Amino acid sequence: MRSATPKVLHALGGRSMLGHAMAAARELDPAQLAVVVRHERELVAAAARKLDPAALVVDQDEVPGTGRAVQCALDALDIKAHAGRAAQLVHDDAVDDELHVDHANGGDHPLGDGLDGAVVVLAGDIPLLDGATLGELLAAHHADGNAVTILTTEVADATGYGRIVREEGTGDVLAIVEHKDASDAQREIREINSSVYVFDAAVLRRGLGGLGTDNAQGEVYLTDVVASARAEGGAVRALLSDDPMLVEGVNDRVALATLGAELNRRVLEGWMRAGVTVVDPATTWVDVDVELAEDVTLLPGTQLQGATTVATGATVGPDTTLRDVEVGAGASVVRTHGSLAVIGDGASVGPFAYLRPNTVLGANGKIGTFVEVKNSDIGAGSKVPHLSYVGDTTIGEQSNIGAASVTVNYDGVAKHRTVIGSFARTGADNMFVAPVTVGDGAYTAAGSVIVKDVPAGSLGVARAQQRNVDGWVERRWPDTPSAQAAAAARTEEAASPTPLGRQAQRQLAEHNSLTGAVPTVPPAGAQAPGSGSENRTDDSSAADTEGNTQR
């Protein structure tokens, strides 16, 4: 693989090759699952224990070969079987003189030989192998009473694979011959060994005891057990799979990509047959652990990874990547990147949204364009429509967060939380400096920096009064297009028979056309009612003075 990562830990379909092998094995509900490690043993062992804490991790010594790997595993399983039986004997208070049998004189081990029954062996680099195929192999083994049952397939080019040599007439397996040890005639055989077997435990134990390294590779071959089983008179048969991809191995990144694409094709086909619409399978990738309901629609460029779930009627995509995200029924998620988030029923997300871990959007809520959310709960029906950052925040129900708002959650040392109540309306370009609370039904004015709590039903305003500096452009940037436009406007205003500006004149004309009235125009220099030093005391006038909130 030319990689610092051990081969079996390379992933496809959201799961390592080791994970695929262990998942397939677990579908058989085995009495014990053993994983043999050798190359990069610490990394592989840690991964195996994380995937299945109950798995028995077995360390292969420096003797190479598949036979040696299985021998180490069987020894460990035998020891565990002996320990279990000894514990049972102690529990039953049945330990007696039988425990002192003289093995040197040929006596039987009081605890038995160890593991008994069927032993299934599979390689860690055949990721498309599934539990159903293993189940068929095991069923055939029991039905025929075989000593060994081998899973095989036929390929157009068998170069590099072990060949299945069959007995004429019966079709039983005479031997498995590795490519480097095969004769020219044997290399013409297209049926190959998949490295997947079922052995009778006693047959396997005896066969492994007689293995050597007399071969081109200098390894202990597991395939030599086939010859020993036949020598004992046991039945060795093969189950031929008509799907070569199921047992295709991975030895480089080209094969990893090829099998990854094939796995994805099979996953998508399964979901489409289950009632999911996949508009463009060529650009849609769904991991094996993803769960989709009927009538889900996946648009082009969608990637669903990890433990993502999508409920019925939801639409995801285009150009969306979700990892470990829960999408509710009827929700829409467009051009969004998200991880470890929950999107409620009927909610809308995107386009160009970023959902970071612990984001929870309630039913019928909205996270809109260029919005980033992290570690926040947004209540049912609440909206963060555009150009905002919401971090470490709780928002109640049916609230609206104005454009270009930021919850300022980090003081350089610690994170703090912002709380915005239900039915609140916050203005555009607001900064909420946490910790801070905006109560239920409260408003905040546009352009405010909210550093103190806003009580329920109150208007929070935190900004300086506007000041206009007359003639600044013409003085600061004379002879520019802006200065020339300003000068022309001043000339036009001076020549106008009314002190009203152009916008006011247009509004006056519209008013006249609608009402037929001819309102009195104040003479030049006159003071308009309600302006100047006239005192204002009512709340509505104060709110108007401070500016409109976000609508």
Active site residues: 386
* 410 among annotated binding-site residues: yes
Q: Which residues of 420-449 are buried (b: 16+ CB within 10 A; e: fewer)?
A: bbbbbbbbbbbbbbbebbbbbbbbbbbbbe
Nearest Cα residue to 51 out of 65, 37, 39, 38: 37
CA-to-CA separations, 477 to 427, 474, 492, 494, in angstroms, rounded: 33, 5, 20, 22
The total of other beta-carbon atoms located within 10 Å of residue 357's CB is 12
The total of other beta-carbon atoms located within 10 Å of residue 139's CB is 13
Only one residue has tokens 């007359």, namely 470
* 400 among annotated binding-site residues: yes
Nearest Cα residue to 64 out of 186, 269, 217, 267: 217
* 125 among annotated binding-site residues: yes
* 389 among annotated binding-site residues: yes
Burial-class residue 169 by CB neighbours within 10 Å (0-12, 13-18, 19+).
exposed
CA dihedral 268, 274, 278, 284 (to 10 degrees): -30
What residues contact residue 407 under an 8 Å CB cut-off, 6+ apart? 376, 389, 390, 391, 392, 393, 418, 432, 434
* 446 among annotated binding-site residues: yes
Pair of tokens at residue 433: 């400096």
* 178 among annotated binding-site residues: yes
CA dihedral 522, 526, 532, 537 (to 10 degrees): -40
Q: Which long-range contacts (CB under 8 A, 24 or more apart) does 5-9 make?
A: 5/43, 6/39, 6/40, 6/43, 6/44, 7/39, 7/125, 7/250, 7/251, 8/44, 8/124, 8/125, 9/43, 9/44, 9/47
Q: Strand 11-12 vs strand 376-378: parallel, antiparallel, or unpaired?
A: unpaired
* 356 among annotated binding-site residues: yes
* 193 among annotated binding-site residues: yes
User: Which bin fits 194, alpha (ψ -120 to 50), beta or left (φ > 0)?
Assistant: alpha
CA dihedral 15, 20, 23, 27 (to 10 degrees): 140
Pair of tokens at residue 350: 């995107």
Burial-class residue 32 by CB neighbours within 10 Å (0-12, 13-18, 19+).
middle
CA-to-CA separations, 208 to 91, 110, 204, 222, 537, in angstroms, rounded: 33, 22, 6, 8, 98
* 65 among annotated binding-site residues: yes
* 452 among annotated binding-site residues: no
* 374 among annotated binding-site residues: yes
Pair of tokens at residue 425: 């309306």
Only one residue has tokens 């699952």, namely 33
Q: Where are the beta strands (DSSP E) in 30-130?
A: 34-37, 56-59, 118-121
Residue 482 DSSP SS3: helix
Query: Phi and psi of 115, rounded to 5°?
Result: -60, 140
What residues contact residue 401 under an 8 Å CB cut-off, 6+ apart? 382, 383, 384, 385, 388, 390, 395, 420, 426, 430
Binding residues for acetyl-CoA: 403, 409-410, 446, 463
Binding residues for UDP-N-acetyl-alpha-D-glucosamine: 7, 60, 65-66, 162, 178, 193, 251, 356, 374, 389, 400
Binding residues for Mg(2+): 125, 251
Binding residues: 7, 60, 65-66, 125, 162, 178, 193, 251, 356, 374, 389, 400, 403, 409-410, 446, 463
